Structure 1
Amino acid sequence: PPSYETYIPFTRGLSGPFDFTPGVFDLKLDSSMRPEQEARPQMTLAKALAIYVVIYSPLHMAADLVENYEGQPAFKWIQDVPVDWDTTLVLNGEIGDFVTIARKQRGGDEWYVGSVTDEFGRTFRIPLDFLDAGREYVAEIYADAHNADWESKPNNIVIREQRVDADMVLDVRLAPGGGQAIRFRPAAQD
């Protein structure tokens, strides 16, 4: 069910890293090949990206066919997201419902945030006070589109950039079965 990834950080994830296979972009499998609905990933594309941060696995996978990544702007996330972290913060969460985790890149200045939800959409705010005070960042945001839904429109995603700092708060909207992935890079790198 879409809630599966909302349990892992609070259960198996507490004992350390483990093998998990995120990164499937073909979220609407051909029903003639696999008629059982349960066989496909029950998430949006934005949630598939957020899982790279939410679930700690230092061996990332790109679990889909190459042709499903070709021409996909969202693949940049998989190329950019680190595999190991210096700092981990749980920003919010309810076991089985939703969770937001922030992680600081090992040996670097970048932060990554992943938010995932169950089958219910939700909105909340994320204070950015974990960022370095007095420093401007560029937030690369991979978010569920306004009409995204894990059942009917799982691939609808919006990718945008926004300048932020530690004094700001981000408004987050997660679609049913959705998520959001954010990379915060120091603006000086532009």
Structure 2
Amino acid sequence: MSVKLPLFSALGAGTVASGGYFIAQGLKDSNHKTIKDRLGDSLMTDSESLDKWNERNTSLSSAVATSLVEDLKVIKSNSPTGEKVKQWCSTNVKAKFLDEKDTRFLNVKTYCTYKMKDKLTKTVKGQEEDWSTHSNKVKTPVQGTTLSPAMEKIKEALNKTQSPDTDALKNWCKNILESMYENGQDFLDANLYCTKD
């Protein structure tokens, strides 16, 4: 009897442990998000103007085929249009979100989302325009202004004693405006420092 008791105890503990594992796995799977859940407000809506979908179609037309999932390759190689891209997006935002490196997720992120420039409340400052006034807002901010970490880096680049990077803000704006829209600090900075006064 003393031999059986530890044996049953061990079996019981093992059964509970394995049962707990499967329950945990089930809960983990039930919480699995879709791409739409992951990207949220960054996604363009079906009601968005066709102009923006045509812009995404232009990007798709120049994309490297190896960067695309099979169904998007088919669209690219068969007279792609903004409408076709919109329909592809409408279906694929419902796919499971696997991870940040998943090709389908990256394709949705590239062709189905707003860019920062799409959401700005003011007119974007042109790259060919004079950026000195805007750069000075970061280089020597008004007293009481708190700069974000990104703007602090630009301030450092502008204030270098040797070879200051006078295009630091302009280049940051060029890159950030083409990136996916997220309602965070980068968007606030872009709206403040990358637009016309």
TM range (shorter): under 0.3
Give the structure with the higher percent helix: 2
Structure of greater Rg: 2
Higher relative contact order (CA 8 A, sep 6+): 1
* Superposition TM-score, scaled by structure 1 size: 0.25
* Superposition TM-score, scaled by structure 2 size: 0.25
